[in-house]
Structures are given as C-alpha cells and as structure tokens.
Amino acid sequence: QLQLQESGPGLVKPSETLSLTCTVSGGSISSSDYFWGWIRQPPGKGLEWIGSMYYSESTYYNPSLKTRVTIVSTSKNHFSLELSSVTAADTAVYYCARLCSSSSCYLSAFDIWGQGTMVTVSS
Amino acid sequence: EIVLTQSPGTLSLSPGERATLSCRASQSVSSSYLAWYQQKPGQAPRLLIYGASSRATGIPDRFSGSGSGTDFTLSISRLEPEDFAVYYCQQYGSALMYTFGQGTKLEIK
C-alpha cells in the first residue's frame, strides 16, 4: 500500500531556504503513471497548492510562489520541496501527496496524502 | 485564476440530520475536475468526492456530490458523529493548477 512521509527541519530562519523531503513507500515515484505534489496549510487556515511534478520531466508551480519554489525528484522513492527567502507567512503544515492516477479521476484530485510536517519560520 | 467560495463558513447540525455544503466557482469548472475533501483536526485531508459526484474508494454512500458549471454541492444524508470536520472543495485547472476553497466547518449543534 502506497504511503507518503514528509521530513525536514521544523524551524527555519527568515530569509533562509525551507527544504523538505517526501519519502514514498510501497511504490516508486519513477512510475510513469504518477504525478506528485506539495500542499501547505498555515495554522488555522485553508489549503494552498504549492506545486506538482512528474518524475524527472515536468514541474508545475503556483504562480504566487513560482519565483521561490523548486520541486525535484531525488531518487526513485524521494522527492523534495525547496522554498527560498522564507518569511513568517510561510509558517505552515506542509503535505506531500499523490495525484490520482486512475482513468476516472486522472490528475484531478490528490488521493493519497502524507501526514504532514509543521514548519515554523522564526529567528 | 479560478476562485472557489464555500458556504456557509460554519454549519451547526445534529447527528442524524442532513448536511448541505456549497462551493461556488468564479468561472465555470468542468465537472470532471471538482473534488471534495474531509479534514479532521491534526490529520491530513482525505479525498471524498472526485469528478463532482464520484465517491473515492471506501467513502460511505451517505456522502454525495452534485453540481455543474459554477455551483457544486456536497451532501451528507445522515450525519454520523465522525462526519463533523472541515470540508474543502478543490478544482483542477489547466497546466496542473489547483485551487482550494476556504473550507466549511461542520460542527455538532
């Protein structure tokens, strides 16, 4: 059964770069069937899509974050998020997730999520 | 960018009652690309509905979705205690762009 797990520092200083890794178990991100993504949720607020990727080929970013975001695959079971020049507004729970791969919902929704990791931006 | 507006912000109901949650888009959305999620405190969102009306794997049939164009609805026919949570709608646009509504909190009356 496919599972996702986020990892990385829980505290990042303002103006530095936030770096997180998503570990995929029970499957491989290199499969041509799957797209992957990052979503975040500030404390007490709603969900914001950050970006999505297709293994080693294509990336797609939220225009509001595009100049600061990089999503890459780092191995067949890992992909990462980097967000540069962070401020307190980037404090959030960060989720990695898989986009639906079946023909009935292809790419239209996130069907498997990690548990999320809290990142606080503070000096 | 398509903006999704959910209403009401908070819905107070009792177990056994029917819940109706609304999601309105600023532009027409293909029904194939409208999804609903449930999120409980401290947990990741869970996919409930995709394609506006199709239930995801393992979702009870008391959950149903409907709508088209700019107006979509999530209905829960008979509320169970575990259904009280926050619900989000989400749309998929071109070039793998995704936006979420601001959420509706369903609380016990």
pLDDT level of residue B49 (50, 70, 90 thresholds): very high
Say yes or no: B103 contacts chain A, CB-CB below 8 A.
yes
Measured CA to CA, the distance from residue B109 to residue B107 in angstroms comes to 6
Closest-CA distance of chain A to residue B1, Å:
10
How many Cβ pairs closer than 8 A exist between chain A and B? 68
The answer to whether the CB atoms of B35 and A108 lie below 8 A apart is yes
Contact list, A116 vs chain B (CB under 8 Å): 44
Enumerate the residues of chain A whose CB falls inside 8 A of the CB of residue B1: 63
pLDDT digits (tens, 9 = 90+) for B1-41: 899 999 999 999 999 999 999 999 999 998 889 999 999 99
Q: Please name the member of B50, B99, B103 whose beta carbon is closest to the beta carbon of A109.
A: B50
Min Cα–Cα distance to chain A from B90, Å? 8
Count of CA atoms in the C-beta half-sphere (13 A) of A25: 5
Q: What's the number of CA atoms in the CB half-sphere (13 Å) around residue A42?
A: 9
> For the residues B92-105, what does the mean pLDDT come to?
91
Buried b (16+ CB within 10 A) or exposed e, B52-65: bbbbbeebeeebbb
Q: What share of chain B is helix, strand, coil (3-state, %, to 5)?
A: 10, 60, 35
CA gap A4, A112 in Å, rounded: 8
Contacts of A60 in chain B (CB under 8 A): 95-97
Find residue A99's DSSP bridge partners.
A110
Interface contact B67, partner A, CB < 8 A:
no
pLDDT of residue A31: 74
Q: How confident is the model at residue A102 (pLDDT cuts 50, 70, 90)?
A: confident
Q: In chain B, pLDDT over 90 holds for what percent of residues?
A: 92
Mean pLDDT score, A17-24 = 97
Q: In chain B, whose CA is at the least distance from the CA of A114?
A: B44
**Residue A56 confidence class, pLDDT cut points 50, 70, 90:** low
Query: Smallest Cβ distance to B88: which of A37, A47, A104?
Result: A47
Cβ contacts of B40 on chain A, cutoff 8 Å: none
